Amino acid sequence: MPLLFFTAIMINWMMVTPLTAAEKITNPNPSAERSSSIPQMQTIGIIGGVSWVSSLEYYRLMNQMVRNKLGGLNSAQILMYSIEFGEFARQERLADKGDWKPLRKIMIDAAQRLKNGGADFIVIASNTMNSSAEDIEKTVNIPVLHIADATGKKIKEQGLSSVILLGTKYTMESKFYRDRLENKYGLKVILPNQAEREYINTVIFDELCAEKINKESKQHFIQIINRLVKENHAEGVILGCTEIPLLIKQEDVSIPVFDTTAIHAEAAVTYSLSK
């Protein structure tokens, strides 16, 4: 059965403070005078909808970050392509047992649409689907900011060497994420046990992606983190699914929490404003 997808493109152009009546009189062509004070942004292309709950956070965070950096009514310049998550999610949650060929085809198609729409680079609003980053760069020929790179850099900045990785079953068990952290950033990656991985995967797809926040699930996640800190001497924890930050906050645990959604959004904003 073919996978269906729905396009939701949001273009959020930078705004400037309205002119006063006096400015309008003294400067009949104010855009030319003001243009030099407005930073040149690269357009951020977001592959979202996987799930839309975390995509909403990406959009909010990026715009808040640009506003905080530039002030006033400035906001991020964004194109978003939102994938329909129904059948996509069913295959993704099966991890290695899922049919990933059509998923990767959808990801490449989404990236091509963003490039055609004017995106200068891409962020994939999903830890799991960053497994498609290299395929996208090779096929579509557009830069992709890998979420594991942004996260690895943040962890190294804090001088940590061992971290817990929480995420979908695919993210925790596949090599695309762990190998990048271990080989590129010299980190020791600690995983929950198999039963815990199954539980975390179920909570992500049945609760968090459906915008359901349960206290019992939160406590269970905290217990898993605390066990790994005690038994494996973990120094930090990666919230390696972009929905987990909706459930777990820094104040919930004693070790540093790495919110991959916020980290990835910050990397995108920095990249957008740096060119």
Mean pLDDT, residues 249-257 taken together: 96
Of the chain, the percentage scoring pLDDT greater than 70 comes to 85
Alpha carbons 177 and 149: distance in angstroms, whole number: 9
Mean pLDDT along residues 134-151: 96
pLDDT reported for residue 40: 84
Is 171 in contact with 241 (CB distance < 8 Å)?
A: yes
What is d(CA 218, CA 8) in angstroms, rounded to the nearest whole number?
31
Residue with tokens 């906050």: 249
Q: Do domains 21-146+264-274 and 148-259 have the same CATH topology?
A: yes
- For residue 263, pLDDT over 70 is answered with yes
Residues 6+ apart with CB under 8 A from 191: 164, 165, 172, 173, 178, 197
Q: What pLDDT, on the 0 to 100 scale, is given for residue 48?
A: 92
For position 51, what pLDDT does the model report? 85
Residue 94 in this model has a pLDDT that exceeds 50: yes
Q: Which residues of 193-208 are buried (b: 16+ CB within 10 A; e: fewer)?
A: eeebbebbbebbbebb
Residue 25 — pLDDT band, cuts 50, 70, 90? very low
Provide mean pLDDT across the span 178-197. Answer: 96
pLDDT of 37 reads: 57
How buried is residue 52: exposed, middle or buried, by Cβ count under 10 Å (0-12/13-18/19+)? middle
Reported pTM? 0.81
pLDDT surpassing 50 at residue 4: no
Exposure of 11 by Cβ count < 10 A (0-12 exposed, 13-18 middle, 19+ buried)? exposed
Indicate whether 16 pLDDT > 70. Answer: no
- Cα 102 from chain centre: 21
CB 16 within 8 A of CB 75: no
For residue 179, how many C-alpha atoms fall within 13 Å in the half-sphere facing its CB? 5
Alpha carbon of residue 134 to chain centroid: 16
Spell out the domain ranges in the chain.
21-146+264-274, 148-259
- The string of pLDDT tens digits covering residues 203-246 is 999 999 888 999 999 999 999 999 999 999 999 999 999 889 98
Could you name the CATH architecture of 148-259?
A: 3-Layer(aba) Sandwich (3.40)
Predicted confidence at residue 13, as pLDDT, reads: 33
Q: Out of 5-14, 124-133, 184-193, 259-268, which region has the weakest mean confidence (pLDDT)?
A: 5-14
| Torsion over CA: 65, 69, 75, 77 (sign) | negative
The model's pLDDT over 30-66, given as tens digits with 9 standing for 90+, comes to: 333 333 456 689 999 999 988 888 899 999 999 999 9
Assign domain 21-146+264-274 one CATH number from 3.40.50.1860, 3.40.50.300, 3.40.50.720, 3.90.1570.10.
3.40.50.1860
Question: Of 100 and 132, which is predicted with more confidence?
Answer: 132
Q: Determine how many CB atoms are found less than 10 A away from the CB of residue 140.
A: 20
Query: Residue 268, SS3?
Result: helix
CB 244 within 8 A of CB 166: yes
Give the distance from CA 200 to its chain's centroid.
18
Q: How much of the chain is in helix, strand and coil states, percent to nearest 5? A: 55, 10, 30
pLDDT, residue 69, reads 92
Instruction: Say how far apart CA 115 and CA 31 lie, in whole Å.
Output: 28
Q: What is the pLDDT of residue 140?
A: 96
Predicted confidence band of residue 187 (pLDDT cuts 50, 70, 90): very high
Judged against a pLDDT cut of 60, whether residue 19 lies above it is answered with no
Residue position matching structure tokens 């777990």 = 248
Segment 60-80 shows an average pLDDT of 93
Q: Given pLDDT bands bounded at 50, 70 and 90, which one contains residue 149?
A: very high
Mean pLDDT confidence for 77-100: 81
Please say if the pLDDT value at position 138 is more than 80. yes
